[in-house]
Amino acid sequence: MQVKGLPEKKVFEELESRLRGDFTYNSGRIIGSMCTVPNPLAKKVYSRFLDKNLGDPGLFPAAVEIERETMKMLGTILSNPEASGHIVTGGTEANVLALWAARALAKKTNPEVVVPASAHCSFDKAGDLLGIKIVKARLNERFQVDVASVKKALNSKTIALVGMAGTTALGVVDPIDDLSELALEKNLYLHVDAAFGGFVLPFLRDLGYNVPSFDFAVRRVCSITVDPHKMGLAPIPAGGIVFRNESFGKAVSWGISYLSGGETEQTTLVGTRSGASAIAVWAVMKHLGREGYRKIVRKCMHLTAKLTEEIPKIRGLSVVTEPTMNVVGLKSDAFDIRRIAEELRLRKWAISLFPHHIRIVLMPHIQEKHVDEFLQDLNKITNKLIG
């Protein structure tokens, strides 16, 4: 670090110039990410309340109340206004917290959790951190978890089941009802990872889509991960761990005595944590309302339908499965998918590559013209590969 500080103008000049090399959402080239431009009001709110620390609730009781209300709002879109929980750093931390609570409640040695083969890698991280064996269940031909395979994976050490409501690779929803029946029968914790789907499925349902049960309306669902920094349009970091009621979160409660706001109980992994994140989620949800999110989801689904319709018209390309939400899997029986990904990247498309397909996520920053440009490039690429 230099001895003499730089004036604000210089710092900004340098940052503007240094960060120019990054991709931007507004260019439309980020077509494989589950993040997007935060809502402008949420950005303003976030920067105004940066000093709020939810880790020291005695100092910021009003911010704590806003977080509590935010969790109720999230609970409401997930069919449970009694929900509680926290705004955390993201889906990874939310999934860690869910398994932490499940482990604490079960009190078993050498615990195991059965997750779908499609589960996000955060469950592997959680397993490693918490000393839980993560057992992967097979998928069926529709890329949902095969409940028979989940059943087979159970044993006396199993403490929890996980279902996905919007898989990372394809946006598929697992049969949460069936997982719930199984969890009830075996007295297991059931966690649903709706990190992406949690801000899509409720609004798809409003729009008249046939949405399978995935939330707290399903009896055994104990907790849900839902990330406002994905389709919720909140600034990063904002993940959500939503518990059915307070008792679940309390399973991982720690007494902290030294804080300047006084003694407290923390039910999160981290101590000092962003109040601004929770307040910004509150603000964007209040500001957009159900109607606002519905409109956003409607537009994303319109572009999803367009892309899904156009892809098979390009020689050698097809979609992996009919999309449930605004996630499209692009595959090819004629070309090596990595070659197509490489060519797309050369043309500055930030796509997401899975072993057998390319994932396209039609986030709110994607416009119709971006989809058209993307399709034109796909055409050019396949023509080039055909030679």
Ligand X SMILES: Cc1ncc(COP(=O)(O)O)c(C=O)c1O
Q: Which residues bind ligand X (CB under 6 A)?
A: 34, 90-92, 95, 120, 122, 166, 168, 193, 195-196, 227, 239
Measured from the CB atom, the residue of 84 and 122 that comes closer to ligand X is: 122
In terms of Cβ atoms closer than 10 Å to its own Cβ (0-12, 13-18, 19+), residue 295 is middle
Measured from the CB atom, the residue of 56 and 215 that comes closer to ligand X is: 215
* Shortest Å distance, C-beta 34 to ligand X: 5
**Which residue matches tokens 């997930």?**
78
* Shortest Å distance, C-beta 236 to ligand X: 8
Measured from the CB atom, the residue of 75 and 163 that comes closer to ligand X is: 163
Q: Which residues contact 261 (CB under 8 A, 6 or more apart)?
A: 56, 57, 58, 59, 60
Say which amino acid occupies 269. Answer: L
Q: Which residues contact 214 (CB under 8 A, 6 or more apart)?
A: 163, 165, 173, 174, 176, 192, 194, 197, 201
**Which residue matches tokens 């729009």?**
207
Measured from the CB atom, the residue of 88 and 381 that comes closer to ligand X is: 88
* Shortest Å distance, C-beta 225 to ligand X: 6
Listed residue (374, 381, 361, 369) closest to 31, CA to CA = 361
* Shortest Å distance, C-beta 196 to ligand X: 5
Pairing, β 254-256 against β 264-266 = antiparallel
How many CB atoms are located within 10 Å of the residue 223 CB? 27
* Shortest Å distance, C-beta 229 to ligand X: 6
Put the strands of the sheet holding 352-353 in their side by side order.
317-319, 327-332, 358-361, 352-353
**DSSP notation for 13-81:** HHHHHHHTTS--GGGT-B-S-S--PPPHHHHHHHHHTTT-BTT-TTT-HHHHHHHHHHHHHHHHHTT-T
Q: How far apart are CA 363 and CA 299, in angstroms?
A: 9
**Which residue matches tokens 């940066």?**
50
* Shortest Å distance, C-beta 94 to ligand X: 7
Q: How far apart are CA 341 and CA 348, in angstroms?
A: 10
* Shortest Å distance, C-beta 262 to ligand X: 31
Q: Which residues contact 280 (CB under 8 A, 6 or more apart)?
A: 38, 42, 43, 45, 46, 49, 234, 235, 238
* Shortest Å distance, C-beta 253 to ligand X: 23
Element (H, E) at 113: strand 112-116
Asked whether the beta carbons of 187 and 106 are under 8 A apart, the reply is no
* Shortest Å distance, C-beta 128 to ligand X: 15
